[in-house]
Structure 1
Amino acid sequence: MADPVAGSRRPIQAAKGTAAVYAGGHRVPVVQAVAASGSEDVVVNDVRRAFHFQAAQTQADSATHMTAETIIRKGVVGLTDLQNLAPNVTIQSENGGATTNFYVRGVGMQDLTQNNTQSIMTYIDDVAYPLSTMASGMMFDLAGVDVNPGPVGFEHGQADSGGEILIHTADPTSTWHGGVTQDIASYARSRTDLFISGPIARGLSFRIAGQTMHGGGWQYNPQTHAHLGDADEGALRAKVKWTPDSKTDIMLTGHWLQDNSEVVTGKPALNFLSSQFIPTLPYQQAEWDIQPGFAKLIGRSPDLKPSEHNTIWGADLKMSRDLGFASLQSISAYETVREGEFTDADATSAPTGDTYRNINANSFSQELRLASKRASDPLQWVVGAYYNRVRVYQQMWFDFTGYVPKRGYVSETPFHQNQQTFNQFAHLSYRLPYHVTLFGGISHEADDRQLVNLSTIHFASGNAYQPTTVVANFANSGAAANQFSGVLGAQWQATKDLMFYFKVSKGFKPGGFTANNTVVQAQLAPMKPETVMAYEAGFKADIVPNRFRLNASAFYYGYHDQQILGYYVVPSYGPLGRFVNVPKSDIWGIEFSTEIHPLRHVYLTQNFGYERGKYTKFQNVSVAATSAQYAQTGVWSPLYDTYDGTDSGIPKLTLNGSADYRFNPLPSYEWEGGLDWMYRDTQAMAPGGLGQPGYHLPAYFLLGAHMTFRPTKGPWSATVYASNLLNRDYFTTGGMATTTYFWIPGPPRFIGGRFGVNF
């Protein structure tokens, strides 16, 4: 695998046609193509590598690269699991459901309705996923994952303020390969993965992969004795690769997912309604309910548990052509999601905040890139353009029939949103004498979105649930943005194994809307775009090659008009979420990652992230003070607070690492055992939340263990493992719904086994 251009941020991927250059510490096939009479002979050598991603050591970034092996060993099956493998990364489920919120180095946003651009963009095989639910269930048959922090959009895709997550799935192979893996664990959890790949005809190959997940529900209701949290998911991915000649590659990919999984429900942390009793339950117990009339209104079963009912499918076509002086690439993609999600957002058995979301959305994107081809040239460049169009229709339902006398009805808020984005980008680097490289990039992005036909309707409680009041047919709202962003930097390859870099970049993300439970027009006022001015310096060093690697970076972000979910207090109604802009905030921090192979059989890794954030200029509604005033007076009226100088509440310290021991107990067999761990610091869930009980998530530490036995060259492997080995009680995210502030608990201890066969 050739080293990428210095100064670029191109994904580090496996060499084409190989099964794995990813495999830290194991014997893996290294495929070398040798020209012989116009054909290619493949020579396979056995090598032992302690470290991987050697090419990434020459890139001027602080990206975290994860191998497919690491992802499997650490039990990553969803996007939220990735936060356990990278520093200063937070990936959280919204209300425990399929919507995912991303934060990297404190840059991110919380968006239940998914009608805004995320601060961290997710890509699967170079295709951007503008709605986080679209990427659900795709973490199988992987080649690797990269997490890139900082402003992006100068070399590919869409501009963004905080970074990107690049997911690479395995490609078709020119020889036959296949395999199946069965994973069985506590609480009757079952996961099955399979794939088959091989040639169809000369220059034509395919790959089909699938995954199913069932069981695993560990919560139960003490009132009904029903359990909750079972997975019920199936996914397929198919790829066809055609190489008509030596200069052309064409790849067609299609995927499909059906997710009917149950959703873990929250535990109340605060009670805003004095007349409502909030029980204190043991960790694995929870309450939920659904009223028959509400179930009938949304068209679901009266026995419905908190769950998803999602169908996601899409296709993309990637074409590349070697033009001699450069390579041309085209990526066309269409993605669609049909989501029906029920969550008991008040986390009680009372009908005071049950929520149902119906989302129909689709996205079409087209990207063209022209890039320099010869890595030996001192000048490297890439230019391109990206277009994205999104169409969304949503219905948000809230059951407030138990919230009396204030409400006592069901509320529906439907709306349409149309959005299109056009980004043009250029990036170049030039290699000077003495191993110094200068690089820079620029992007211009225009974004236009309209929120149309939004209304709110109230339905009276009772068997009929007839519409009684049309609160409003709200005026349409629009938001347009047109901005430049860019990056400038330098790197110095001091020695073959030591590189320093410094860069300055500006990130941009367009504005958008709040569109959930809307009762007044003021809630629909669009938020402004946000920008991040980022400064970063770092080094990458193989201090003792193949024995000790240390990469480190320091960063400072000037965050302008940060988009956060604040509050808007409606008299005689209460606080409702509304996106607001923080005029100015600051984030700074440090990161390092190290891999150590001190002894023959010992392999250690450790990621360390420390970050601090503060609001330097910000005034907003104090939800704690406003709720306290309501508890005393029974009247909702906003109380504002100044948050200038207040800690923004991002987790200050994140740690994750592993220790493995590998040896050969028999001449042809390998045994591996190890521990992995992670720590996340306290996180505020509302401005000023670090000083308010219930408004922040407690810190937590998790420990896992694994042991694998396999032939060194054989087709099978057997693994036993444990996650949350110490059976800690912890909470992964939180939120507020009407009468309660709740926390979403994480899974207890799981013990399982995995057996896989490959050919």
Structure 2
Amino acid sequence: MLSLLLRHGWLVLGGVVVLSLPGQAQAQSGAAHRPHARQAVKPPAAPVRAETITVNAQRRDFSYPEAQHVPDADTRLTAARLIERGVVSLRGLERVAPNLTIQSINGTASTNFYLRGVGFNDFTQNNMPSVLSYFDDVPFAFSTMTDGMMFDLAGAEVTPGPVGTRHGQSDTGGEVRLRTNDPTDQWHYGAREDIASYSRSRSEAYVSGPLARGLSFRLAGQTQQGGGWQRDPLNGSHLGDADLWALRGKLKWTPDSHTTLMVSGHFTQDDSEVVNPIPVHRLVGTAPLPVESWQQTQWSMRPEFARLIGRRPGLKPSEHNQFWGADVHFSHDFGPVTFSSISAFETERQGEYTDQDGTALAQADTYRTIDANTFTQEVRLQSSHPHDRLQWTVGAFYQRSRMQQRFFFDYTDYVPQRGYMMATHFGMDQESTSEFGNISYRFDHGVTLWAGLLHEIDDRSISGLQSVIFGGKSQDFHGESTAAAQYAGQAGVSWQAAAHELVYFKISKGFKPGGFTANNTQIQAQLDPFRPETVLTYELGLKSDPIPNRIRLNAAAFYNDYHNQQLVGTVLIPNYGPLSEITNAPKSESWGFEATLDIHPFAHLFVTQNLGWQRGNFQNFPTVNRAATNAYYAQHGVWKAIEDNFAGVDNGQPKLTLNGNAEWRQALGPHYGIDFGPDWLYRDSQAITPGGTGFYRLPPYFLLGAHATFHPASGHWSATVYATNLLNRRYAESGGMATTTYFYLPGAPRFIGGRIACDF
């Protein structure tokens, strides 16, 4: 290579390419060696000064190098990394980010988030989550609305800690932001087909290009089918097949270089079967629990219950969901300032059947319907030149949501305690407004100071709640409402200590409004609103490339000081049993750290390791001790609330989480290459009730995967073989309680698959 560069007049010195062009002298030299060139005697040429062109070449072996100068602890993920790790739903993000837990609620499309141990377990999904999801800067008030949206992605970001002074809403845990691909000014199209074990298939396709001058479009879609790996040992039926399709369209208009208008719309139809629980402990009754393998489960659908809910007999635990929405993005650069507006409307129509006790008995069969919609509007003004010393943003945000939910329960075999079918119905209205601003200034010597403030007013109410026991009595409950007006903010300082080292410190206050517990309501007191939650977070962070393009280390340590942390406690209903209720822990705390290490020790090897560690405890949390209450009932046959204060008790979140991957990238001649390597995930144990031990905790687990991808140098296509849970480990992703049993939701077994992709 060196001789080739020298032969063409190139000199390479320490990453700087110097090109020497001797001008006419070189041209004459070339002519003298052409055999048919006419020779002429000319006077000696005047000395010619060599022209020198300096080309600065930058290697980018790690993604997002510009983010190394941003004082945050965000995890930034490329679309390629998401595809490689099989992240096709929000839950998959916990495999590629530190200190992040995203768990399905009873095996369904609804999810709960925990980031740095900050999270919220909300089965009814009618309250604001602690960690918000954004698609293309549109916040989703109800996480289920994101179902089927994770395709044709451009990338993702996970931001821990309180947010809200630069965009969107305030919350206490952070946010997950996903970006989808925009329309292109040139024609592009592509497709991806993924086929794996248990007849699972995932298909994606897109087309993008210009329609007219300044006008372009993008249309993308996906389908998911099959993949069910659970079986009922009583009849041999299998469970868990996906049945989902989704479409997204975007239209982009740029009438001039300063103005952009983007109109987007999407639709998802999800009729997938869900993962059914495995009972691990019986709370009520003496019937033995079914003894089954990890891939077996039981369920039932009584014809009477099917008629009540208006679904076909023999229905398997499954979804019947529709989601659609549209949004309009507008921005205009006025020179010194840029104005942007984001308007969005989202809807969900959900029908969800779950057999929560995991047995063939009708003791906790549940069917839920949700009709909900949200409208959001955000406007922002911000400085236009990102390299100016002074940067600022001001804006306002508005959200309105409407929801109607109805729960149907079949307790026919739960005798003598119940032995009936019942339904609960309620409506919820919510409205909030907020104003926010953020300012930063870069001083000499690499020091930057910043501060931000948000003020939010939130009003929400629950109404029309009715509980009906079919063949028995009905109860009507009067409505409740709650309002909050709070401030959130942030202040910090960063120092660019060297070209490749940044340190920062910030203090953030997060705010999350209160809400209601609205599941299986039996007494009016269950509708008392829980209070708003606030957290004061201290964070110290480092971003460094000790050896550029060889080693990158980003790390952050944090401390969370909570007031009125919202979490699921227990209330005992006399002659009925314990029920979950969202309540407040007056005082709690958590602390920990996270780190991401990227290593490229030599030409072909790339390694990424994420590490998260956190601890936390309640400093004051009076509640019913569910374990002691259940034990008293088992001994005496009478429900009696055992009151306790969980002061000093661990918050139950996984203390240690690890995930990462290693990849060997090998050229196969000048035209082809192969990338291959393993990936891994470790999660520590997690309590499913405060202070939980024994079966009240999910066991720790370790998963191993691997992949190999063959591709041409052009990158226009690729072929991949992969495996997930390569060791076929038995593990539980989440768990909970369903009237008579405690259950675990089992994780997927080994999947072996292949994927073919093309992009042109």
Is the 2:285–2:740 contact (alpha carbons within 8 Å) kept by the matching residues of 1?
no
User: In the alignment, which residue of structure 1 is the partner of 2:453?
Assistant: 442
User: In the alignment, which residue of structure 2 is the partner of 1:145?
Assistant: 156
Is the 1:425–1:442 contact (alpha carbons within 8 Å) kept by the matching residues of 2?
yes
Aligned-residue offset at 1:276: 2.9
From 559, 572, 575, give the equivalent of 2:575: 572
From 375, 384, 388, give the equivalent of 1:364: 375
Inter-partner Cα distance in structure 2 for 1:166 and 1:55: 18
For residues 46 and 171 of structure 1, do their structure 2 counterparts lie closer, same or farther at Cα, with a shift above 3 Å needed?
A: farther
From 39, 55, 58, give the equivalent of 2:69: 58
Structure 1 position 222 matched with structure 2 position 242? no
Structure 1 position 304 matched with structure 2 position 300? no
* Identical pairs, percent: 54
What one-letter code is carried by the residue in structure 2 that aligns with 1:721? Y
Inter-partner Cα distance in structure 1 for 2:713 and 2:359: 52
Inter-partner Cα distance in structure 1 for 2:202 and 2:553: 35
Inter-partner Cα distance in structure 1 for 2:542 and 2:602: 25
From 277, 283, 291, give the equivalent of 2:294: 283
Inter-partner Cα distance in structure 2 for 1:687 and 1:517: 21
What stretches of structure 2 of length at least 5 have no aligned partner? Answer: 1-55
Q: TM-score normalized by structure 2? A: 0.92
User: In the alignment, which residue of structure 2 is the partner of 1:267?
Assistant: 278
For residues 156 and 196 of structure 1, do their structure 2 counterparts lie closer, same or farther at Cα, with a shift above 3 Å needed?
A: same
Structure 1 position 511 matched with structure 2 position 514? yes
Aligned-residue offset at 1:611: 0.3
Q: Secondary structure at the match of 1:608?
A: strand
Aligned-residue offset at 1:277: 2.5
Aligned-residue offset at 1:47: 8.2
* Cα deviation 1:607-631 (Å, max 9, x = unaligned): 1111001111111111111111111
What one-letter code is carried by the residue in structure 2 that aligns with 1:553? A
Is the 2:59–2:549 contact (alpha carbons within 8 Å) kept by the matching residues of 1?
no
What one-letter code is carried by the residue in structure 2 that aligns with 1:552? A
What one-letter code is carried by the residue in structure 1 that aligns with 2:750? R
1:516-531 pair list within 5 angstroms: 516-531=519-534
Inter-partner Cα distance in structure 2 for 1:419 and 1:455: 20
Structure 1 position 682 matched with structure 2 position 696? no
From 461, 476, 479, give the equivalent of 2:479: 476
Is the 2:571–2:579 contact (alpha carbons within 8 Å) kept by the matching residues of 1?
yes
From 545, 555, 562, give the equivalent of 1:542: 545
Q: Secondary structure at the match of 1:134?
A: helix
Aligned-residue offset at 1:714: 4.8
Moved more, 675-684 or 369-378: 369-378
Aligned-residue offset at 1:274: 2.4
Aligned-residue offset at 1:428: 0.4
For residues 264 and 476 of structure 1, do their structure 2 counterparts lie closer, same or farther at Cα, with a shift above 3 Å needed?
A: same
What one-letter code is carried by the residue in structure 1 that aligns with 2:736? G
* Cα deviation 1:324-372 (Å, max 9, x = unaligned): 1100000000000000000001111110001111000000000000000
Structure 1 position 111 matched with structure 2 position 122? yes
What stretches of structure 1 of length at least 5 have no aligned partner? Answer: 1-44, 461-467
User: In the alignment, which residue of structure 1 is the partner of 2:26?
Assistant: none
Inter-partner Cα distance in structure 2 for 1:259 and 1:413: 24
Aligned-residue offset at 1:60: 1.1
1:552-563 pair list within 5 angstroms: 552-563=555-566
What one-letter code is carried by the residue in structure 1 that aligns with 2:68? Q
* Cα deviation 1:187-243 (Å, max 9, x = unaligned): 000000100000000000000000000000000000010000000000000000000
Is the 1:78–1:137 contact (alpha carbons within 8 Å) kept by the matching residues of 2?
yes
User: In the alignment, which residue of structure 2 is the partner of 1:200?
Assistant: 211
Inter-partner Cα distance in structure 1 for 2:391 and 2:567: 38
Is the 2:302–2:314 contact (alpha carbons within 8 Å) kept by the matching residues of 1?
no
Aligned-residue offset at 1:421: 1.1
* Cα deviation 1:551-585 (Å, max 9, x = unaligned): 11110000111101111100000011111100111
Inter-partner Cα distance in structure 1 for 2:114 and 2:164: 17
Q: CA RMSD in A?
A: 1.1
1:487-636 pair list within 5 angstroms: 487-636=490-639
Aligned-residue offset at 1:715: 2.2
What one-letter code is carried by the residue in structure 1 that aligns with 2:578? P
Is the 1:342–1:354 contact (alpha carbons within 8 Å) kept by the matching residues of 2?
yes
Is the 2:281–2:695 contact (alpha carbons within 8 Å) kept by the matching residues of 1?
yes
Structure 1 position 378 matched with structure 2 position 379? no
User: In the alignment, which residue of structure 1 is the partner of 2:183?
Assistant: 172
User: In the alignment, which residue of structure 2 is the partner of 1:757?
Assistant: 758
Inter-partner Cα distance in structure 1 for 2:743 and 2:82: 30
* Cα deviation 1:525-559 (Å, max 9, x = unaligned): 10000011000001100111111100111100001
Is the 2:77–2:155 contact (alpha carbons within 8 Å) kept by the matching residues of 1?
yes
Is the 1:643–1:688 contact (alpha carbons within 8 Å) kept by the matching residues of 2?
yes
Q: TM-score normalized by structure 1? A: 0.92
Q: Secondary structure at the match of 2:695?
A: coil
What one-letter code is carried by the residue in structure 2 that aligns with 1:748? P
Give the number of equivalent residue pairs: 705
Is the 1:492–1:499 contact (alpha carbons within 8 Å) kept by the matching residues of 2?
yes
User: In the alignment, which residue of structure 1 is the partner of 2:326?
Assistant: 315
* Cα deviation 1:647-669 (Å, max 9, x = unaligned): 11110000011110011122200
What one-letter code is carried by the residue in structure 2 that aligns with 1:182? E
1:69-468 pair list within 5 angstroms: 69-460=80-471, 468=472
User: In the alignment, which residue of structure 2 is the partner of 1:648?
Assistant: 651
Inter-partner Cα distance in structure 1 for 2:502 and 2:278: 48
Is the 1:411–1:517 contact (alpha carbons within 8 Å) kept by the matching residues of 2?
no
Is the 2:370–2:404 contact (alpha carbons within 8 Å) kept by the matching residues of 1?
yes
Aligned-residue offset at 1:48: 6.0
Inter-partner Cα distance in structure 2 for 1:755 and 1:435: 46
User: In the alignment, which residue of structure 1 is the partner of 2:670?
Assistant: 667
User: In the alignment, which residue of structure 1 is the partner of 2:696?
Assistant: 695
For residues 196 and 46 of structure 1, do their structure 2 counterparts lie closer, same or farther at Cα, with a shift above 3 Å needed?
A: farther
* Cα deviation 1:236-259 (Å, max 9, x = unaligned): 000000001111100000000000
